[in-house]
């Protein structure tokens, strides 16, 4: 577990909390651990909204467990905490409030790069979802439908679109867009919503939400769509480096089908 706190934390406070939280373990704060002890780092962070850093080196732990531990630390000491998101976005974090909220936020990239300071810039600007169609969609019709599905005013919705080539990719290990039963879904749309607050969702939950709203959108538009999410793109180490397998979910409002759009190499 590691997190950034909105206030300083004394060694006495931290040690008492660790003993309550993990009574079966022994800890060493900012010192060389003896055999059987867990090393804990607790120190000031650079200036910013979260000036204190805590990390407990307890070995490999699932992300959700680490976040639960950080949330407990924040709640027990009545302060906000910031933890890096599980996505590989360098400026995306989860804000844990003392009241138990989990908000998805972006930090100021300039403050982080220049001063290593964590300053909240606002709600995360990560897209709500991404999907592909086999025909071009009329922008006004699409935005109107999305405003109903996402419960947001049309002025707050931003749609970015791009079109893939009509040709087949050179190999199964390359992908431009989904091809389902020979049909090219080459019109891809990325949907963002400007929100005042944005609740955080785990990658798997985000993928389920994306599939849900794209399925409803397909029914509204009367044509099948392909839903994309980071959870469907799995990177793995292979001899010579790493490569990804990409998948999408084909939906028509009634049924669904998982489609591999890019295969993973066996080796480079």
Tell me the per-residue pLDDT of 100-116, one tens digit each, with 9 for 90 and over.
Answer: 999 999 999 999 888 88
Average the pLDDT over 46-75 and give the result: 92
* Cα–Cα distance measured from residue 57 to residue 72, given in angstroms and rounded to the nearest whole number: 17
Give the mean pLDDT of 214-242. 90
Of 200, 201, 247, residue with least CA distance to 228: 247
Which token pair is 155? 């002025």
Is the per-residue pLDDT at 9 higher than 80?
A: yes
Query: Of all helices (H) and strands (E), which one includes residue 216?
Result: helix 203-221
Q: What pairing do the DSSP bridges indicate for beta strands 102-107 and 120-123?
A: antiparallel
**Within a domain: 268:** no
Read off the pTM: 0.86
Q: Are residues 46 and 140 in the same domain?
A: no
Which residue would you say has higher pLDDT here, 89 or 1? Answer: 1
pLDDT at 14 over 90: yes
Question: At which of 123, 143, 169 does a domain end?
Answer: 123
Residue 241 pLDDT level (bands cut at 50, 70, 90)? confident
The pLDDT score that the predictor gives to residue 175 is 82
Residues 29 and 91 in one domain: yes
Domain encompassing residue 239: 129-262
- pLDDT tens-digit series, residues 154-213: 999 999 999 999 888 888 888 889 999 999 999 999 999 999 999 999 989 999 999 999
* pLDDT band with cut points at 50, 70 and 90 for residue 136: very high
pLDDT (0 to 100) of residue 89 = 78
Q: What is the pLDDT of residue 266?
A: 84
pLDDT at 107: 95
Is the pLDDT at 88 greater than 80? The verdict is: no
Share of the chain above pLDDT 70, in %: 100
Place of tokens 């985000």: 206
Asked if 139 and 172 sit in the same domain, the reply is yes
Assign 7 a pLDDT band (cuts: 50, 70, 90).
very high
The beta strands (E) that lie in 6-112 are given as 26-29, 37-44, 52-56, 81-84, 92-96, 102-107
Q: What is the mean pLDDT of the chain?
A: 93
CA dist list (Å): 142 to 29, 139, 179, 189: 55, 5, 22, 10
Q: Is residue 13 part of a domain?
A: yes
**Which residue matches tokens 């086999």?**
134
Q: Of 185, 186, 202, 187, which Cα lies nearest the Cα of 257?
A: 185
d(CA 98, CA 13): 16
In a domain, 213, yes or no: yes
Which residues are CB-contacts of 105 (< 8 A; sequence separation ≥ 6)? 82, 92, 93, 94, 95, 120, 121, 122, 123, 124, 198
Last residue of a domain, one of 94, 123, 152: 123
- Which pLDDT score is estimated for 169? 86
Task: State percent of the chain over pLDDT 90.
Answer: 75
Tokens for 5?
A: 């706190």
255 and 145 part of one domain: yes
Give the count of alpha carbons within 13 A of 137, CB side only. 30
Running DSSP on this structure, what letter comes out for residue 172? T
Q: Rounded to an integer, what distance in angstroms lies between the CA atom of residue 243 and that of residue 246? A: 10
Which of the listed residues 81, 97, 123 is the one where a domain comes to its end? 123
Domains in the chain, number? 2
């Amino acid at each position: 577990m590691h997190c950034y706190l909105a206030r300083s934390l004394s060694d006495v406070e931290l040690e008492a909390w660790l003993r309550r939280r993990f009574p079966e373990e022994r800890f060493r704060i900012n010192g060389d651990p003896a055999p059987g002890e867990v090393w804990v780092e607790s120190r000031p962070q650079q200036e910013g909204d979260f000036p204190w850093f805590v990390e407990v080196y307890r070995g490999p732990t699932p992300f959700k467990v680490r976040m639960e531990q950080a949330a407990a630390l924040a709640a027990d000491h009545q302060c906000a905490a910031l933890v890096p998101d599980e996505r590989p976005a360098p400026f995306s974090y989860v804000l844990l409030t003392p009241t138990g909220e989990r908000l998805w936020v972006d930090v100021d990239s300039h403050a982080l790069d220049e001063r290593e300071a964590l300053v909240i810039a606002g709600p995360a600007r990560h897209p709500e979802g991404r999907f592909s169609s086999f025909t071009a969609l009329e922008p006004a019709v699409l935005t109107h439908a999305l405003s109903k599905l996402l419960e947001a005013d049309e002025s707050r919705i931003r749609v970015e679109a791009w079109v893939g080539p009509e040709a087949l990719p050179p190999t199964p290990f390359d992908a431009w867009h989904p091809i389902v039963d020979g049909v090219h879904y080459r019109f891809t749309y990325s949907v963002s919503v400007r929100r005042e607050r944005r609740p955080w969702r785990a990658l798997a939950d985000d993928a389920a939400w994306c599939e849900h709203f794209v399925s409803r959108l397909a029914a509204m538009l009367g044509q099948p769509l392909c839903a994309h999410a980071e959870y469907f793109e799995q990177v793995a180490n292979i001899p010579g480096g790493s490569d990804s397998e990409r998948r999408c979910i084909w939906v028509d409002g009634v049924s669904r089908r998982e489609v591999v759009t890019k295969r993973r190499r066996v080796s480079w």
